[in-house]
Each structure stands twice: as structure tokens, then as C-alpha cells.
Amino acid sequence: MSTSYYLLRRPITSVRPEVLGGHTHVGVWINHAKSGDLVVRNEEWLPLLQALTSDECVIHVSCGGKDVGLVVDDRCPESCDMVQIVSECGTLHSMGEIRNQQTMRET
């Protein structure tokens, strides 16, 4: 099993979705400052997130087997653990969350 993670398209630095009934309110941060909110139907959230995501894979996580554990291939130019990344399944994570998964599996 493996998963690839992608950065948000520049200059977007983060998005924060909040589901409210049948709609998702998406806060958008550009260069770490809140730019505004987008409101989309819940079923439009994933296509919107995919449109805001870069095509460049920055982290690839795979299982190396029971003796190896989690293998993280980190090619991210951003070193900050707070940088938001998007999985190929469309879930939001921080770089730190993914890096911590590797550390937790190693112990």
C-alpha cells in the first residue's frame, strides 16, 4: 500500500473546510493570510480541492513490510511541518503529521 501527497498550488498556503449542512465552507489562505471563504456543495469539495492541488508529488509513503515499517520519500522543498499537503485520496494533512507517522512506526 502506498500514498502520494501533493502541495497546494502557489500562492495558496492552506485551506480549511467546514461542513455546515449541505455545504462546505472553505477558508482559503494565500501567503499565510486569510483571503476569504468559498462555499460549495458538499459533493463539490473534493473536485475543488483537486483543482487547488499541484501535480507535483512531494511525499510518497509506502509500507516496506513488517521488518521495515513505513517508508517516507520526502522531496518537499518546504521544510516546515505546518505546510499543508493533500493525499491522492483528497484528504488534508500537514507535513508534520506524515513525518510523525514514520517516527511512530519506527519506535
- Return the H-helix or E-strand segment holding 99: helix 95-106
Domain limits for position 14: 2-106
Burial 25-47 (b: 16+ CB within 10 A, else e): ebebbeeeeeeeebebeeeebee
Is 70 exceeded by the pLDDT of residue 78?
no
Q: What is the band of 63 on the pLDDT scale with cuts at 50, 70, 90?
A: low
Tell me how many domains the chain contains: 1
Q: How many angstroms separate the Cα of 75 from the Cα of each of 29, 56, 60, 101?
A: 23, 10, 8, 16
**Structure confidence at residue 16 (pLDDT):** 95
Is 50 exceeded by the pLDDT of residue 71?
yes
Entry pTM: 0.76
pLDDT digits (tens, 9 = 90+) for 3-47: 888 889 989 989 999 999 999 999 999 988 999 999 999 999 999
